[in-house]
Amino acid sequence: MDTVKSSVTFDIRTKPSGKIKITNWNKSKVVMTGTLLVLTLLSMYGFLTFDYKEINLIQATLDTLANLKLMFLQANLNNFTLAEAIYQIGLTVGLAFLATIIGAVISLFIALFAAKNLSPKPLANTIIIFIAFIRAVPTVLWVFIFAIAAGLGSEAAILGMLLHTVAFLVKAFAESIEELDAGVIEALRASGANWWHVVTNAVIPSTMTSLLSWTFLRFETNFTVAVAMGAVAGAGGIGFELFMASGFYFDMKEVGFITYAILLIAVMLEFMSTRLKKRYIVKS
Amino acid sequence: MPLLEVKNITKQYEKDKKVLSGISFDVNGGEFISIIGPSGAGKSTLLRCINRMVDFSSGEILFHNTDIMSLSKKDLRKYRTQIGMIFQHYNLVSRLTVIENVLHGRLGYKTTLQGIMTRFTEEEKKEAFHLLEKLGMREHAYKRCDHLSGGQKQRVGIARALIQQPKILLCDEPIASLDPNSSKVIMDHLKNISQELRITCIVNLHQVDVAKHYSERIIGLNGGQIVYDGAPQELTTTNIHQIYGSEAENLILA
Amino acid sequence: MKIDVYRKKKRQFTIFALIVLCMTFISAKLTNFSFVQGISSVPEAFRWMGSNLLITRESFEKMPSILDKLIETIFLSITATTTASIIALLLALLGSQTTKVNGFFSTLSRFIASVFRNIPIVAWALILLLSFGQNALTGYFALFLATLGFLTRVFTETIDETSNSSVEALQSTGANYYQVVSKAVLPECSPQMISWILFMVETNIRSSTLVGILTGTGIGFAFDLYYKSMNYNVVSLITLSIVVVVISIELISNYIRRVIL
Ligand SMILES: Nc1ncnc2c1ncn2[C@@H]1O[C@H](COP(=O)(O)OP(=O)(O)OP(=O)(O)O)[C@@H](O)[C@H]1O
Ligand SMILES: [Mg+2]
């Protein structure tokens, strides 16, 4: 016993200064420190090289604060009616809903071929890479690109949002499907079920809840995207009204009202989607 | 004069539900006390009242004759350095090394800045190694805690508590997640600590036989009340029945 | 009994499907979206893309200026993310159940986070545009505020989920608040937090393209410029370069995540 002890007596590591070391620089720690260091340096460099165009930062900040005060404390509609506002919100929600629901249906089909436990690896990988490519393009660019072919409007907006939705959902769906217990699929296969049987009897029923919550999560995102498309890509809806109120009428009170409306819908959607997520995604 | 006097304490988390009611007992230096009782009896709550991780609702606890509820924030820190705690799930910072985790036991003695900058003295580090050696964990000193087995983690937990140089060690089900072998190792260490270092150990346990084998005194808790307080030899089947209620048969069989 | 449950499930599903169908119909009416036209324009759009979105030799001459704008965008999203993450960390510490100082600040932090992340980034950009004008700072602040909202939320969740037990242990040794945060919370949560920061850098590259169209900065501005002048070859070059950047960042992040998580 004693000999064992004495053989490990000199394993205390020391720093060059002679002090006892207590940390251990493993790979994970090195990479984390490195990442933070690089991000910090890049940020510092970024701040030094921005084109500030001789802006008066203090004045601009004060102006913004004054605007925010006006917006949030005296929110009001001036250039259009409440009924119209509700219609425009409905339009934006409608855009988001269409893009989400059509996207979800398409994604479900594609995801079946993108999940590695249902489809041959080369096919699954090809789809995943292709999807990653589509996802990397910002939604607004897709909308603009579709607008050339389909004209600016709801079609282009929905198609653009749809493409991005599909790219997002296929990945999420495929991952949900891959989490499925391998035994279930095997058991069905062994009993002579064909591929479609497996899909309709095992895959879809047991992943349904998680697919639904992913879809809802995307709906939440798509609402924000639809607002953006209204403001930037002429897709109409509340986003366009926001753009007009701030950039055309310079009416902060109306901007305030619209912002409140968007905030309300977004908070509601977020509330619902967190509840769904808590119930289904986290648990599984 | 007893080291710790618990006088008639009650604890309510919610209004009309007493988790602890009228708990009184004295603790002397170097005692080895087991607290047994069914799930939800309030064992964990009682331990946490002693180091004020939980504030009790009424009654008082005196440590060296000072009322611990009257302590200022700063004095409470000082008080906690004298009470070590050991947990069922070890509660280590899993991404740090064993030695770092052990040294966390010294934080109570440090200023804010010393703590944040990890300024531990060479004596403290040597003491940490010494403790690890005594617990048979020396060669693991530079390992990350998430790479250890349960029994090893618990020994790190013990070292972290001991380096506080505590007067009392509170152990909340220290062996509930361990296999029989590791359990024995841990219990033996705790027994040694109380005998050699004269540190009082108050241990929550689920196994009556373990409690009987190791402790000098057993406190039985049921529904937030003390239903037994005495020597293990005098603990009868009737007592056990009182403590565990109808679950008793299952428990003894297990 | 079992059949009953089955029937009930089936009925629930039918109702759910009907509601969705109804909403789809209403949405289509509201937005004037015709499925036929929509679907038929897809092949058309792809044919158009195939023949027009080609990267020609001439468009490559614009590469240096595109690169310039792209770098501006990358830096914008990195600076916005890192600065937001520092404030978000402070807010999250106040907001989390494990590390909160008191109930008031906890609620306040959650409220701030909710407001900031639920006001869309375009709204921030439009509001800031009024006082900051077409300036890199407009985009910076818009990204900063939206990122702050998102990161505060996920950081709070991370702290809530991961550091409970070690916080208790350190408190019981007599460690004070700052020591507990620096010795238990940060070591336990930093991998997850870094992962979220990387995710946000990636997302912000895409968002800052959008914001750039409004604020006239970065790659968004370049895209808008060539799009409006119908120079589609350059448009496709810009799109491709964004894709390359986003995917590279995704790959780097994935590597980092694999090592640290
Ligand atoms: N933070 C809390 N808030 C509200 N109720 C609590 C809290 N902690 C414990 N309780 C309640 O107090 C009672 C006693 O809990 P305690 O954890 O002390 O029991 P225990 O004897 O340690 O049980 P176990 O053997 O399962 O660990 C239980 O009914 C529990 O639900
Ligand atoms: Mg307990």
More confident site: A194 or C76: C76
Identify whether C43 is part of a domain: no
Q: If you average pLDDT over every residue of chain A, what do you get? A: 88
Tokens of C13: 């599903």
Q: Residues A32-58: pLDDT tens digits?
A: 999 999 999 999 999 998 888 888 889
Identify whether C94 is part of a domain: yes
Q: Do C123 and C246 reside in the same domain of the chain?
A: yes
Does the Cβ of B11 fall within 6 Å of ligand 1? no
Identify whether A62 is part of a domain: no
Q: Do C178 and C82 reside in the same domain of the chain?
A: yes
Q: Do C121 and C85 reside in the same domain of the chain?
A: yes
Q: Do A192 and A121 reside in the same domain of the chain?
A: yes
| Mean pLDDT to the nearest integer, B188-210 | 95
Identify whether C52 is part of a domain: no
Give pLDDT, residue A145: 85
Identify whether A61 is part of a domain: no
Identify whether A66 is part of a domain: no
Give pLDDT, residue A4: 44
| Mean pLDDT to the nearest integer, A73-83 | 88
Binary contact (A159, C41; C-beta < 8 A): yes
Give pLDDT, residue C127: 93
Does the Cβ of B45 fall within 6 Å of ligand 1? yes
Confidence of residue C58 (pLDDT cuts 50, 70, 90): confident
Q: Residues C64-121: pLDDT tens digits?
A: 999 999 999 999 999 999 999 999 999 999 999 999 999 999 999 999 999 999 999 9
Q: Do C62 and C158 reside in the same domain of the chain?
A: yes
Q: Residues C117-149: pLDDT tens digits?
A: 999 999 999 999 998 988 889 999 999 999 999
Query: Closest residue of B to A18, CA-based?
Result: B122
Give pLDDT, residue B246: 66
Proportion of chain B above pLDDT 90, given as a percent? 90
Identify whether C44 is part of a domain: no
Would the pLDDT of A150 be above 50? yes
Q: Do A179 and A235 reside in the same domain of the chain?
A: yes
Give pLDDT, residue B202: 97
Q: Residues B65-105: pLDDT tens digits?
A: 999 999 999 999 999 999 999 999 999 999 999 999 999 99
Does the Cβ of B55 fall within 6 Å of ligand 1? no
Confidence of residue A7 (pLDDT cuts 50, 70, 90): very low
Give pLDDT, residue B3: 94
Q: Do A163 and A39 reside in the same domain of the chain?
A: no
Domains of chain B: 1-82+166-254 (3.40.50.300), 89-165 (no CATH)
Would the pLDDT of B239 be above 70? yes
* Contacts A–C by Cβ distance under 8 A: 220
Identify whether C48 is part of a domain: no
Which residues in chain B have their CB less than 8 angstroms from residue C188's CB? 93-95
Q: Do A95 and A196 reside in the same domain of the chain?
A: yes
Number of domains in chain A: 2
Identify whether A116 is part of a domain: yes
Q: Residues C1-52: pLDDT tens digits?
A: 567 777 887 888 888 889 999 999 998 888 888 888 777 778 888 888 888 8
Proportion of chain A above pLDDT 70, given as a percent? 94
Interface test with A, best of B102, B123, B124, B129 (most A CBs within 10 A): B129
Q: Do C150 and C21 reside in the same domain of the chain?
A: no
Q: Do A44 and A157 reside in the same domain of the chain?
A: no
Identify whether A59 is part of a domain: no
Structural domain of C157:
58-260
Identify whether A271 is part of a domain: yes
Which residue's C-alpha comes closest to atom 16 of ligand 1? Answer: B42
Q: Do C100 and C198 reside in the same domain of the chain?
A: yes
Give pLDDT, residue A1: 40
Q: Do A222 and A266 reside in the same domain of the chain?
A: yes
Q: Do A246 and A193 reside in the same domain of the chain?
A: yes
Q: Which of C:144-173 have CB within 8 Å of B? A: 165-166, 168-173
More confident site: A268 or B246: A268
Q: Do A193 and A123 reside in the same domain of the chain?
A: yes
Q: If you average pLDDT over every residue of chain B, what do you get? A: 93
Binary contact (A246, C126; C-beta < 8 A): yes
| Mean pLDDT to the nearest integer, A187-191 | 84
Would the pLDDT of B120 be above 60? yes
Structural domain of A15:
9-49
Confidence of residue B250 (pLDDT cuts 50, 70, 90): low
Would the pLDDT of C177 be above 70? yes
Number of domains in chain C: 2
Would the pLDDT of B173 be above 60? yes
Give pLDDT, residue C2: 62
CA distance A207 to chain C (A): 15
Identify whether C17 is part of a domain: yes
Would the pLDDT of B254 be above 50? no
Q: Do C178 and C143 reside in the same domain of the chain?
A: yes
Confidence of residue C61 (pLDDT cuts 50, 70, 90): confident
Q: Domain containing C65 — which CATH number?
A: 1.10.3720.10
Which residues in chain B have their CB less than 8 angstroms from residue A21's CB? 142
Q: Probe ligand 1: pick from B12, B13, B17, B175, max atoms within 8 Å of CB?
A: B13
Confidence of residue B247 (pLDDT cuts 50, 70, 90): low
Residue B43 Cα to ligand 1 midpoint, Å, equals: 8
Q: Domain containing A116 — which CATH number?
A: 1.10.3720.10
Would the pLDDT of C207 be above 60? yes
CA distance C81 to chain A (A): 9
Identify whether C45 is part of a domain: no
| Long-range contacts of residues B131-136, Cβ cutoff 8 Å, at least 24 apart | B131/B102, B131/B159, B131/B162, B131/B163, B132/B98, B132/B99, B132/B102, B132/B156, B132/B159, B133/A5, B135/B159, B135/B189
Give pLDDT, residue B205: 95
Give the sheet arrangement for strand B58-63, strand by strand.
B17-27, B4-14, B58-63, B66-67
State whether residue A231 sits within 8 Å of chain C by CB.
yes
Q: Do A138 and A262 reside in the same domain of the chain?
A: yes
Q: Do A231 and A117 reside in the same domain of the chain?
A: yes
Binary contact (A46, C214; C-beta < 8 A): no
Q: Do C19 and C98 reside in the same domain of the chain?
A: no
Q: Do A265 and A149 reside in the same domain of the chain?
A: yes
Give pLDDT, residue A10: 54
Q: Do C21 and C70 reside in the same domain of the chain?
A: no
| Mean pLDDT to the nearest integer, A160-171 | 94
Which string of DSSP letters, residue by residue, matches chain A?
A: -HHHHHHTTT---B-TTSPBP-----HHHHHHHHHHHHHHHHHHHHHHH---TT--HHHHHHHHHHHHHHHHHS----SS-HHHHHHHHHHHHHHHHHHHHHHHHHHHHHHHHH-TTTS-HHHHHHHHHHHHHHHHS-HHHHHHHHHHHH-TTHHHHHHHHHHHHHHHHHHHHHHHHHTS-HHHHHHHHHTT--HHHHIIIIIHHHHHHHHHHHHHHHHHHHHHHHHHHHHHS---SHHHHHHHHHHTS--HHHHHHHHHHHHHHHHHHHHHHHHHHHHHTTT-
Q: Residues C209-237: pLDDT tens digits?
A: 999 999 988 999 999 999 999 998 899 99
Which residues in chain C have their CB less than 8 angstroms from residue A266's CB? 118-120
Residue A213 Cα to ligand 2 midpoint, Å, equals: 35
Q: Do A164 and A227 reside in the same domain of the chain?
A: yes
